[in-house]
A and B are shown apart, each in its own frame.
Chain A
Amino acid sequence: MSRALELLKTAPASARIGMAVVAGYGVVAVLAPSLAPYGETQIVGLEFADWSAQHWLGTDDLGRDVLSRLLYGARNTIGIALLTTLIASALGGVTGLAAGTLRGWVDQVLGRVVDVLMAVPSLILTLLMLAIFGTSIFSMIAIIAVIESTRIFRLARSLALGIGMLDYVTTARLRGEGLTWIIFCEVLPNAAAPLIAEFGLRFCFVFLFIATLSFLGLGIQPPTADWGSMVRDNATLIAYGQMSPLIPAGAIALLTMAVNVIVDWLVHQSSGLKE
Chain B
Amino acid sequence: MDGSLLSIRGLSIHAQAKTGVTEILRGIDLEVDRGTILGLVGESGSGKSTLGLASMGYTREGLQIASGKILFDGIDLIRLSEHQRRSMRGVRIAYVAQSAAASFNPARRLFDQSIEVPVGRARMARREAISRLIELYARLQLQGASTLGLRFPHHVSGGQLQRAMTAMAMVTGPDLIVFDEPTTALDVTTQIEVLSAIRDVVESSNTAAIYISHDLALVAQMADRIMVLRRGQVVEEAPTRQMLSAPREAYTRSIWAADGFRAEPKATLDREVSPLLRLTAVTAWYGRSRVLNDVALQVHAGRTVAVVGESGSGKSTLAKVIAGVLPPSGGTMQFAGGVLAAGYRRRSREQLCRIQLIAQSPDTALNPRRRVCDSVGRPLTFYHGLRGAARERRMRQLLAELDLDPDRYAGRFPGELSGGQKQRVCIARALAAEPSLVICDEVTSGLDQLVAQDTLKLLDRLQRERGLAYVFITHDLAIVRAIADDVVVMKGGSIVRSGPREEVLAPPYDPYTELLLSSIPEMDPDWLDRVLARRSGAPGLGGAH
A interface list, Cβ under 8 A from B? 166-168, 170-171, 173-177, 185-186, 189-190, 192, 274
Q: A167-B365, A189-B369 are in contact. Are A175 and B325 (CB under 8 A)?
A: no
B interface list, Cβ under 8 A from A? 61, 323-325, 344, 347, 349, 352-353, 357, 359-361, 364-370, 378-379, 382-383, 429, 433
With a cutoff of 8 Å between Cβ atoms, the chain A residues found around residue B357 in the complex are 170-171, 174
Bound: A192/B324 CA distance, A: 29
Contact of A171 with B61 in the complex, beta carbons under 8 Å: no
- Give me the 9 closest cross-chain CB pairs, A-B, nearest first: A189-B369, A167-B359, A167-B365, A168-B367, A167-B364, A176-B352, A166-B364, A176-B349, A174-B344
With a cutoff of 8 Å between Cβ atoms, the chain B residues found around residue A166 in the complex are 364
Residue in B324, B349, B365 whose beta carbon sits within 8 Å of that of A171 in the complex: B365
Closest to A163 in B: B367
With a cutoff of 8 Å between Cβ atoms, the chain A residues found around residue B360 in the complex are 167
Contact of A190 with B344 in the complex, beta carbons under 8 Å: no
Bound: A186/B143 CA distance, A: 45
With a cutoff of 8 Å between Cβ atoms, the chain B residues found around residue A175 in the complex are 352, 378-379, 382-383, 433
Closest to A188 in B: B369
Contact of A168 with B366 in the complex, beta carbons under 8 Å: yes
New contact pairs (18) apart from A167-B360, A192-B369, CB-CB < 8 Å: A167-B359, A167-B361, A168-B364, A168-B366, A170-B325, A170-B357, A171-B359, A171-B429, A174-B324, A175-B352, A175-B379, A175-B382, A176-B349, A176-B352, A176-B353, A176-B382, A186-B367, A274-B61
Q: Which of B325, B357, B369 has the most CB of A within 10 A?
A: B369
Bound: A177/B367 CA distance, A: 14
> What is the CB-to-nearest-CB distance from B428 to chain A, in angstroms, rounded to a whole number?
13
Q: A175-B382, A177-B382, A274-B61 are in contact. Are A170 and B368 (CB under 8 A)?
A: no
Bound: A185/B369 CA distance, A: 9
With a cutoff of 8 Å between Cβ atoms, the chain B residues found around residue A185 in the complex are 367, 370
Contact of A174 with B352 in the complex, beta carbons under 8 Å: yes
Closest to B355 in A: A174
With a cutoff of 8 Å between Cβ atoms, the chain A residues found around residue B367 in the complex are 168, 185-186, 189-190
Contact of A174 with B323 in the complex, beta carbons under 8 Å: yes
Bound: A174/B325 CA distance, A: 8
Bound: A177/B370 CA distance, A: 16
Contact of B368 with A190 in the complex, beta carbons under 8 Å: yes
Bound: A170/B319 CA distance, A: 13
Bound: A189/B366 CA distance, A: 13
With a cutoff of 8 Å between Cβ atoms, the chain B residues found around residue A174 in the complex are 323-325, 344, 352, 357
With a cutoff of 8 Å between Cβ atoms, the chain B residues found around residue A190 in the complex are 367-369
Bound: A98/B359 CA distance, A: 24
> What is the CB-to-nearest-CB distance from A67 to chain B, in angstroms, rounded to a whole number?
45
